[in-house]
Structure 1
Amino acid sequence: MKKIISGGTIVTASDKYEADVLIENGVITQIAPNIRDEDAEIVDATGQYVFPGGIDPHTHLDMPFNNTVTDDDWESGTKAAAFGGTTTIIDFCISAGSPTLSDAVKTWHKKSKDKAVIDYGFHLMIGDLNEVRLAELPQVMEQEGISSVKVFLAYAKEFQASDRTLFQAFKVGKELGATVMVHCENGSVIDELVEEARANGKTKPIYHALTRPPQLEGEATKRAIELAHLAGAKLYVVHVTCKEAVDEIISARNKGYNVIGETCPPYLVLDQTALEKPNFEGAKYVWSPPLRPVEHQKVLWDALKSKQLQTIGSDQCSFSFNGKKSLGKDDFSKIPNGGPFIEDRFSVLYSEGVAKGRISLNEFVDMISTQSAKIFGLFPKKGTIAVGSDADIVLFDPTVKRVISAETHHMNVDYNAFEGLEVTGEPITVLVRGEYVIKEKEFVGSLGSGEYIRREVESAKDTAVIS
């Protein structure tokens, strides 16, 4: 059925204006004042912003890690994302343990099939690149429509790649026009610091942060930057947390290097003291890179405002406090790394950014949706409100004040990292390709309605340094 979104204020990365939006067959076909069509359902958006659907470029759903599996799968995770205003995610397909890269992608298709309620794509994670995998990589990326790969410089026991593998990945990225994403921490030195701490009886959650200092994020960021530049590749630094990493990114971009930076909501509003909470409560805040001292928050906000960092990912990787985080009760190094953020990414950035005057409405849309669409080969199908684009739309009430809580969230975990945070603004209705997934804050979607989105590698070639 056709729909007309009427009476709202449309906001994109570049514009803000009042108009109606006509949706036909899942696509926006007209934007104009006072659209009339007797066959269309009228969706009243009076008093609301009409945003393009959020694009979350960084999620981990149904992912094995730290001897367990994340608690949010493709059903609960995508439902929570929709409640939070996100209409597309790009999840990390883990290849470790799979005989071939193709097998890894098949596993991720199986995980998501008949569960996702919003659209999605995959990044392909690479832990090693022997001759067989090097030969397979271009074929898999082309066949599956994957335009991005990820390399870890952390988690030595699970995922960490060698510098040679990293450089090989950059060379493939250059050849294919793909984006190479890197988790920048020095995993080998971290392991040494962790062993020292444990040997000295330092086992509380706070030592997770103290054994992963900002210097090791800065060092790994610089290393990745220089190797990417040597290979002529495009580098996307995931979940930037600290001044040391931001400084390296700014320096590289000032030299014309093709470097893109992402940060995440917890680093903008939470700080390292959360890991000091008594009764093991600090374990709720164990993820990597860790939370930093509070002074790093301003550095991140400034970098977003100046567009030295371009995107906001959730880094959704949820483990319940009881039963999973508690695996590290007597040893911080055994606490599963990760937190539940997919539902609150959109609202936290709006409330802490727009409502508090740190960023503009247009900058908000750019960070929460448009830049990810452009970087990862989804634009203009996704990431904007324009004729011809998918009708992925969020009707957002900017006047609502509410308190984030595990009592009311939709993620499949028993705590919320933002518990007690008052936020301004709330997604009210969310459409994916013109169909309601959330209507008046109620889930009305259907399992399996989310579509896998192919992202041709060629579409990544034309993304220059984002300014």
Structure 2
Amino acid sequence: MSILIRGGTVVTGEQELRADVLCDGGTIKAVGPGLDAPAGTTVIDAGGMFVMPGGIDPHTHMELPFMGTVASDDFFTGTAAGLAGGTTTIIDFVIPGPNESLVAAYKTWRERAQKAAGDYSFHVAVTWWSDQVSDEMGVLTRDHGVNSFKHFMAYKNAIMVDDGVLLHSFARAQELGAIPTVHAENGEAVFHLQRQLLAQGITGPEGHPLSRPPEVEGEAATRAIAIANLLGAPVYIVHVSTEQATAAITRARAAGVRAYGEVLAQHLVIDESVYRNPDWATAAAHVMSPPFRPKHHQDALWAGLAAGQLQTTATDHCAFCAPQKAAGKDNFTMIPNGTAGIEDRMSVLWHHGVRTGKLTRSEFVRVTSTNTAQIFNIFPRKGAVAVGADADLVVWDPAGTRTISAKTHHQNVDFNVFEGMEVTGVARHTISGGKLVWTDGDLRAVRGAGKYVERPCFPSVSQAQAIRNERNRPTGVARMPATAVTP
């Protein structure tokens, strides 16, 4: 099936140009003015609209077993909702339990994801440490296209890891050419504050942000960056929500540390007042970690995106319905942490970012797609509008409007944190794998159509040194036989 997108303005992370885009066989075949449509081609009129790379959400949790329940969006419903909002690829998380094999957990998640409607990849969490974990990190990078490993500094007595694990795992990731990613909250401090608040009789959702103040995120981000810098490793801080963590990343980058920051669309526009809603269910529906913050933190996040100190936007999409949230009715620490957002991220970013002048159109493309593709080494297959790239595209209507609501969204959850928000800027058409999967409100997602995306590692330290040595070898000196670097 061929698709010709005609008459639009192509927007990439680098430029804008008037051009048609021809897709065939799952890839982009041509980009240029006045392209001809082969016989049988579906033609999409993109006049007055922008043609951009499909969104990549680098942080989702589809059908995640967590806090005694399972997230309500599975890999089909979650990725299908993403297609409706212009997101064509996700990077989800494999989260082994303590002492569980990383490879076995990875295979479990791969099986769950077979139903995905859009393309997907995986970060793998390191939740414990041993020689087995070290070996399996090598297996995952070598055989399964995993190039990032997640570390939770929060959730004490569950999946939290200490500094010793961070040191071992960061060093191993550096050896392999993989990227350590971090949930930066001081779990010991959170646990202490939770116990303190419960002892004071604070049991409702308002206790959640009180137990996770901005300082616990700022401290953890600073510590994770310091460990990475000590080892010469890169580090990617997920869901940055505070000015403290933003400042830590900014300082690190100014000092030459390869530190990256991710922002959630939710944290950019929602503040902590939601936890004081007199309706318990509404307040509980907003419980996620890190929590929503006082409004002034939003200014730091927007500034970080605009300045390039924060590089990506995500959703941490982890949906739980009201009966699931009710597990914490008498104890806020038992409310399943998570909110939805995969369908709405791009519209929220466009409306509150591009339309207000906080982001340019090219910056929008970078923070919703291209930067993620580059950081996690799938560019230019993803995140580009170029010949040979995957035909994952969104035809964006900058004048289109919609009102976000749980009554009309495609996410499998009974609440939307953006409920009632009117946004201008919508996905008019979405192409995934060369197929038209969303067009003028018609969702054509196909169960199992999504493909697993392998993400090769970057050259390791030893590989990079070998390359430098080879480049610097004097002319006429015999080359040594190439030696494979074993992960």
Identify whether the pair has TM-score above 0.5, normalized to the shorter chain: yes
Q: Any idea what SS the aligned residue of 1:324 has? A: helix
Find out whether 1:69 has 2:70 as its counterpart.
Answer: yes
Alpha-carbon offset, residue 365 of structure 1: 0.1
If you compute each CA radius of gyration, which structure gives the higher value, 1 or 2? 2
CA RMSD across the alignment: 1.4
Contact 1:84 1:346 in 2 (8 A): yes
Contact 2:37 2:43 in 1 (8 A): no
Structure 1 spans left out of the alignment, 5+ residues: none
Q: Any idea what SS the aligned residue of 2:59 has? A: strand
Find out whether 1:255 has 2:255 as its counterpart.
Answer: yes
Amino acid at match of 2:385: I
Q: Any idea what SS the aligned residue of 2:111 has? A: helix
Contact 2:98 2:128 in 1 (8 A): no
The within-5 A match list for 1:455-466 is 455-458=455-458
Can you list the C-alpha shifts for 1:429-458, whole angstroms capped at 9, x where unaligned? 111121111122211231101000111113
Contact 1:71 1:320 in 2 (8 A): yes
Find out whether 1:436 has 2:433 as its counterpart.
Answer: no
The within-5 A match list for 1:164-313 is 164-280=164-280, 281-313=282-314
Contact 1:205 1:286 in 2 (8 A): yes
Can you list the C-alpha shifts for 1:201-257, whole angstroms capped at 9, x where unaligned? 011101100110111101101100000011111100000001111111111111111
Alpha-carbon offset, residue 459 of structure 1: 6.9
Q: Any idea what SS the aligned residue of 1:166 has? A: helix
The equivalent of 2:377 in structure 1 is 377
1:433–1:460 Cα change, 3 Å: farther
The equivalent of 1:392 in structure 2 is 392
Amino acid at match of 2:17: Y
Q: Any idea what SS the aligned residue of 2:198 has? A: helix
Alignment partners' CA distance in 2, 1:384 and 1:188? 42
The equivalent of 1:159 in structure 2 is 159
Alignment partners' CA distance in 1, 2:423 and 2:379? 29
Find out whether 1:318 has 2:357 as its counterpart.
Answer: no
| Deviating 4+ runs (over 4 angstroms) | 459-463
Alignment partners' CA distance in 2, 1:110 and 1:97? 21
The equivalent of 2:471 in structure 1 is none
Alignment partners' CA distance in 1, 2:368 and 2:245? 21
Alignment partners' CA distance in 2, 1:458 and 1:251? 24
Alignment partners' CA distance in 1, 2:88 and 2:333? 34
Alpha-carbon offset, residue 37 of structure 1: 3.2
Can you list the C-alpha shifts for 1:155-201, whole angstroms capped at 9, x where unaligned? 01221001010111110121111111000000011101100110110
Q: Any idea what SS the aligned residue of 1:59 has? A: coil
Contact 1:54 1:85 in 2 (8 A): yes
Alpha-carbon offset, residue 98 of structure 1: 6.7
The equivalent of 1:23 in structure 2 is 23
Q: Any idea what SS the aligned residue of 1:378 has? A: coil
Per mean C-alpha deviation after superposition, the further-off stretch among 1-10 and 89-98 is 89-98
Alignment partners' CA distance in 1, 2:47 and 2:279? 47
1:274–1:353 Cα change, 3 Å: same
Alignment partners' CA distance in 1, 2:310 and 2:100? 36
Alignment partners' CA distance in 1, 2:182 and 2:204? 28
Per mean C-alpha deviation after superposition, the further-off stretch among 97-106 and 16-25 is 97-106
Per mean C-alpha deviation after superposition, the further-off stretch among 442-451 and 376-385 is 442-451
The equivalent of 1:41 in structure 2 is 42
Alignment partners' CA distance in 1, 2:312 and 2:262? 5
1:144–1:425 Cα change, 3 Å: same
Amino acid at match of 2:307: S
Amino acid at match of 2:74: D
The equivalent of 2:410 in structure 1 is 410
Q: Any idea what SS the aligned residue of 2:58 has? A: strand
1:48–1:206 Cα change, 3 Å: same
Alignment partners' CA distance in 2, 1:37 and 1:398? 26
Contact 1:21 1:31 in 2 (8 A): yes
The equivalent of 1:353 in structure 2 is 353
Q: Any idea what SS the aligned residue of 1:252 has? A: helix
Alpha-carbon offset, residue 97 of structure 1: 5.3
Contact 2:98 2:159 in 1 (8 A): no
Number of residue pairs the alignment of both structures matches:
461
1:209–1:410 Cα change, 3 Å: same
- TM-score normalised by L of structure 1: 0.97
Alignment partners' CA distance in 1, 2:304 and 2:444? 38
Q: Any idea what SS the aligned residue of 1:215 has? A: helix
Q: Any idea what SS the aligned residue of 1:58 has? A: coil
Identity of aligned residues (%): 42
The equivalent of 2:331 in structure 1 is 331
Q: Any idea what SS the aligned residue of 1:161 has? A: coil
Alpha-carbon offset, residue 41 of structure 1: 2.5
Structure 2 spans left out of the alignment, 5+ residues: 465-487
Alpha-carbon offset, residue 460 of structure 1: 8.8
Contact 2:174 2:460 in 1 (8 A): no
Alpha-carbon offset, residue 49 of structure 1: 1.0
Alpha-carbon offset, residue 79 of structure 1: 0.6
Q: Any idea what SS the aligned residue of 2:395 has? A: strand
Per mean C-alpha deviation after superposition, the further-off stretch among 311-320 and 38-47 is 38-47
1:396–1:319 Cα change, 3 Å: same
The equivalent of 2:131 in structure 1 is 131
Contact 1:98 1:104 in 2 (8 A): no
Amino acid at match of 2:14: S
Contact 2:406 2:416 in 1 (8 A): yes
Contact 1:173 1:180 in 2 (8 A): yes
Alignment partners' CA distance in 1, 2:209 and 2:445? 40
Contact 1:55 1:372 in 2 (8 A): yes
Find out whether 1:452 has 2:448 as its counterpart.
Answer: no
